[in-house]
Structure 1
Amino acid sequence: MTLRRIGSGPLAKEDVQETPPEVQDTDQSMSLRWRLSLLSATLVAFAVGIITVAAYWTVSNYVISSIDDELENQATVMLERAGQPGFYSNVEAEIDTVRAYSQDMRIALAPPGWQYVVGDSVTVPGNILLNQSGSGTQIASTNTERILVKRDDAGAVVVLAKEMAETNRQITALGVLLLLIGGIGVLASILVGFIISNEGLKPLARLQRAVEHIVKTDELRAIPVVGNDEFAKLTKSFNEMLQALRESRTRQSQLVADAGHELKTPLTSMRTNIELLLMTSKDNSHSIPEEDLEALRQDVLSQMTEMSTLIGDLVDLAREESIETSEPVVLNQVLEIALDRVESRRLTVNIDVKETVQWEVVGDEFSLTRALVNVLDNAIKWSPDEGTVRVSLNQLDADTVRVIVDDSGPGIAESERELVLERFYRSISSRSMPGSGLGPAIVNQAVHRHGGALVVGESDDGGTRITMDFPGKPLRSQLEN
């Protein structure tokens, strides 16, 4: 089980969480190779069982049907001969002649109107009625014989009883043989199934070894793809996952490295200033003029503000990478929220909102709001007093909407328009201004995560134009209008 502890107090009962059943140890379960082998054996056993029963039933019925046909033919011949003149005067000899060809058969003949039978004594089962009138045939079985009774229109009756012991023995032997063959087939299917599953699962075993190697060595190298079957597709999916992990690791390493580099400068400067302030407070011989001391304090506060801003931007950037929320968002409402938030940032700059459309995108409302606030905030910051920030949201085509934010500032040099979207990059004209250089990167990442595109250009009055395209669809109310 997994133990979770909160704070420094004793371990509470509710802090103990049971491991979910789906992640519990399953080492004692049967391997996939054996499951496939037993599954194939089960299917083969089922098929062999059906075939064995069908074969046994077919053969036994065929044998009995053949015996019935033989008895029927012999009874018909005897009744035909019984209709010839002088037959009954030599009936015993006729019966002996038939018996000579079928030694395992007993024969009884009842001439028309006779009260007794000629030939062998045959016990007729109770379900056969000898006193029936008219021609007909009846067949019945006892434990050891197959009995046929046939009568003609004249009233003569022939009873034939064939010994079935040898036939039953042969049918039983056939059933045992079929059962033995079926059992051998099942055992062979287990062996063949194990061989086939072993061969078929070799790509999976190879993939497992590659994954175990990755776990041991922490090397996110691509796994070789062999063939074009389902295992090859699974390997390709693993490689795509590894590629995503490599990119995530690279981004994390780059973020840590950039954050460390960017935090180092203000920390060093702040440490120097704080040490100077401490030294001044402890040793009166190193007194500093009051105006310089106030400037030093303001410098420390400014550096703390800069660090706070940088850390906040780093948190936002890291959060942007981990956002997975995906829900319908009304983009024009998000734009209105962003405009409300920046409206009081600088009252000397006018904000001109042109036309907007009712548009819906799929994504994260908080991320989109933060991105638009960042763009609007930068536009206001770089616009001069009495300048104008122009905002528009227009439908570009059936599936795309375009958001444009123009400012009246100095603009960004064409050679730097792509660079400003990189982390921590600051254009030459902005390096004297406070900021972390992460804002455009956060916006660009948010736009791309929502399937859009961001372009930095030049506004009509020489300032900066930020163009953001988002996929989506117009709202139903917009379509109805």
Structure 2
Amino acid sequence: MILTNPAAEDVPLPRDNWQRSSWSKAPLRWQLAIVTAVMVAAAVSVMTIVAYWTVSTSLNRTVDSNLTTTAQSVLTRSEDPEFQKEIHRELAVFKNYNPDIQIQFFPPGAAQGIGDDIVLVVEGQVIRGETSMTLRNQGDERVIAMNNPAGSTVVLSQDLGPTYTLVSSLGMVLLIIAGLGTLMAIAAGMVVSTTGLRPVTRLQRAVEHVTATDSLEPIEVHGRDELAQLTRSFNDMLESLDASRRRQTELVADAGHELKTPLTSLRTNIELLMMVSKSPTPNFSSADLHDLEKDVIAQIDELSTLIGDLVDLAREDAKQGEMELVDLEDTMASSLERVRRRRPDVQFTFERAEWFLKGDSFALGRATVNLMDNAAKWSPPNGVVRLSMEPINEHSIHVKVADSGPGIPNDERSKVFERFYRSVQARSMPGSGLGLSIVKQVIERHNGTIEVRDSDDGGTLMQITLPGGSTPEAGQASARIASR
């Protein structure tokens, strides 16, 4: 017995998982706005802190500098004998000019200071001559003590309240600026995200339109940025899908048309055979019955060939097959052996050459078999089909298949590679009209070309141009060159 906890499904997700889930569900516009606001707020905060610290430090240094300069001025003045006679009057004059500074003066050797009452902490070291200057904070005051070589010491104390008030006001202003900057960052993030995502929204609507209507119309491209490039790539995909759909539609329509005729004829012949088998007194002779059975077998063979060609054509449309290094000479030799077994009444000659290329060995074998079968079909009894491999240069080769048949008229040469096309002469012979179409697709997929010419004895010459090399290494290198 398995025990389960009924409340297990109600256990809340961990907080971090919940936050990630909520963030991933938020609209992209809000995500961009929030990220922009956080980044700007962080930048403003750092700038605010740096500005506050810089100004505060600068003000404190200014206070210290002013106190130091003032103390040196007083000590310099104290070297005048008149100053020693009129110390109280001199200090009073100093207070008139510096009302925010308290002053206490120690003549040389004096233990008691003259002037304001300033609490001394470490200033005794200066008075005793142990050090030349001290600087410290006393509550909200800044206290400096300094002596001179004559032994006089001055202690100054300045109230830092106004400075602290100024720094606090500055901090408040910077804080307000930081808050306003964050709000403006949120607004700017919304504007930027809305403007920046407008092409994405347009692309999304186009995708939804394609999904809803099954229409593959291209999307209008605006600008030259990355989103415009994405739109162009999407349009290329739509164009590829549309071409694939058209090929599929044409293949289905053509296949249905081509299958209808042999199926109708086959059905008629089978119905005749059924009538003959059920009739107690058949009106067919043994010869007629034999011809009918032979005709049924021929129609079944025709259907099998047509279906096989359709499968090959569909496979070639899908561009399946692993690309590998192919020995073209070996491929053609294998195809020749297959065709020879089927057509012992035709002679074949083969001029070989070593050649390698990167490609689909199965597809190339099927294409060469189709070419050889086609040449043998049109050659007369005891005719000769001539095969040759003639390198053009280091990276290209001509593969020629020539027959001794009636040839192909010039006005039909551009049509023989069309699907299901059959000339007037070919309609009386077996075939589906797909063989040469498959050949052309295979050759073009391997970056080659095929053209129809006249053979030396008036027949047809199929000339194929393929890339590659005379060694495996050259074949690999040629494939890399063709892919650039």
TM beyond 0.5: yes
After superposition, the Cα gap between the structure-2 partners of 1:474 and 1:277, relative to the gap in structure 1 and judged at 3 Å, is same
Cross-structure match for 1:309: 305
Residue 344 of structure 2 is aligned to residue 347 of structure 1: yes
- Equivalent residues in 2 for 1:143-158, closer than 5 Å: 143-158=139-154
Runs of 5+ consecutive residues of structure 2 not aligned to the other structure: 1-20, 478-484
Q: Any runs of at least 4 consecutive aligned residues in structure 1 with deviations exceeding 4 A, and if so which?
A: 25-28, 124-128, 131-135, 476-480
After superposition, the Cα gap between the structure-2 partners of 1:201 and 1:125, relative to the gap in structure 1 and judged at 3 Å, is farther
Residue 188 of structure 2 is aligned to residue 223 of structure 1: no
C-alpha distance in 2 between matches for 1:189 and 1:220: 40
1:384-424 deviation line (CA, Å, top 9, x unaligned): 34433222233334543322222222222222212111111
Query: Which one of the candidate residues 193, 197, 202 is aligned to 1:201?
Result: 197
Cross-structure match for 2:370: 374
Cross-structure match for 1:337: 334
- Equivalent residues in 2 for 1:470-481, closer than 5 Å: 470-475=466-471
C-alpha distance in 1 between matches for 2:123 and 2:33: 52
Residue 463 of structure 2 is aligned to residue 451 of structure 1: no
CA RMSD in angstroms, aligned pairs only: 2.5
Query: Which one of the candidate residues 463, 466, 470 is aligned to 1:467?
Result: 463
C-alpha distance in 2 between matches for 1:236 and 1:366: 35
Indicate conservation of the 8 Å contact 1:320/1:445, yes or no: yes
Structure 1 position 441, deviation (Å): 0.5
| Residue aligned with 1:425, SS | coil
After superposition, the Cα gap between the structure-2 partners of 1:408 and 1:225, relative to the gap in structure 1 and judged at 3 Å, is same
Cross-structure match for 1:233: 229
Indicate conservation of the 8 Å contact 2:325/2:472, yes or no: no
- Percent identity over the alignment is 43
After superposition, the Cα gap between the structure-2 partners of 1:126 and 1:374, relative to the gap in structure 1 and judged at 3 Å, is farther
- Equivalent residues in 2 for 1:63-462, closer than 5 Å: 63-124=59-120, 126=122, 129-130=125-126, 133=129, 136-325=132-321, 327-332=323-328, 333-361=330-358, 363-462=359-458
C-alpha distance in 1 between matches for 2:139 and 2:355: 91
One-letter amino acid of the counterpart of residue 297, structure 2 = L
After superposition, the Cα gap between the structure-2 partners of 1:73 and 1:310, relative to the gap in structure 1 and judged at 3 Å, is same
C-alpha distance in 2 between matches for 1:452 and 1:60: 78
Structure 1 position 59, deviation (Å): 1.1
C-alpha distance in 1 between matches for 2:138 and 2:350: 105
Query: Which one of the candidate residues 36, 54, 57 is aligned to 1:58?
Result: 54
After superposition, the Cα gap between the structure-2 partners of 1:254 and 1:69, relative to the gap in structure 1 and judged at 3 Å, is same
| Residue aligned with 1:81, SS | helix
One-letter amino acid of the counterpart of residue 465, structure 1 = L
| Residue aligned with 1:141, SS | strand
Query: Which one of the candidate residues 4, 11, 36 is aligned to 1:40?
Result: 36
Indicate conservation of the 8 Å contact 1:125/1:140, yes or no: no
Indicate conservation of the 8 Å contact 1:388/1:408, yes or no: yes
Normalising by structure 1, we get a TM-score of: 0.87
C-alpha distance in 2 between matches for 1:408 and 1:340: 20
Count of aligned pairs = 455
After superposition, the Cα gap between the structure-2 partners of 1:151 and 1:399, relative to the gap in structure 1 and judged at 3 Å, is farther
Indicate conservation of the 8 Å contact 1:107/1:161, yes or no: yes
| Residue aligned with 1:86, SS | helix
After superposition, the Cα gap between the structure-2 partners of 1:62 and 1:243, relative to the gap in structure 1 and judged at 3 Å, is same
Indicate conservation of the 8 Å contact 2:129/2:151, yes or no: yes
Indicate conservation of the 8 Å contact 1:358/1:478, yes or no: no
Structure 1 position 432, deviation (Å): 1.8
1:261-320 deviation line (CA, Å, top 9, x unaligned): 111111111111111111222231444222211211111111111111111110110011
One-letter amino acid of the counterpart of residue 27, structure 2 = S
Runs of 5+ consecutive residues of structure 1 not aligned to the other structure: 1-24
After superposition, the Cα gap between the structure-2 partners of 1:340 and 1:283, relative to the gap in structure 1 and judged at 3 Å, is closer
After superposition, the Cα gap between the structure-2 partners of 1:440 and 1:158, relative to the gap in structure 1 and judged at 3 Å, is same
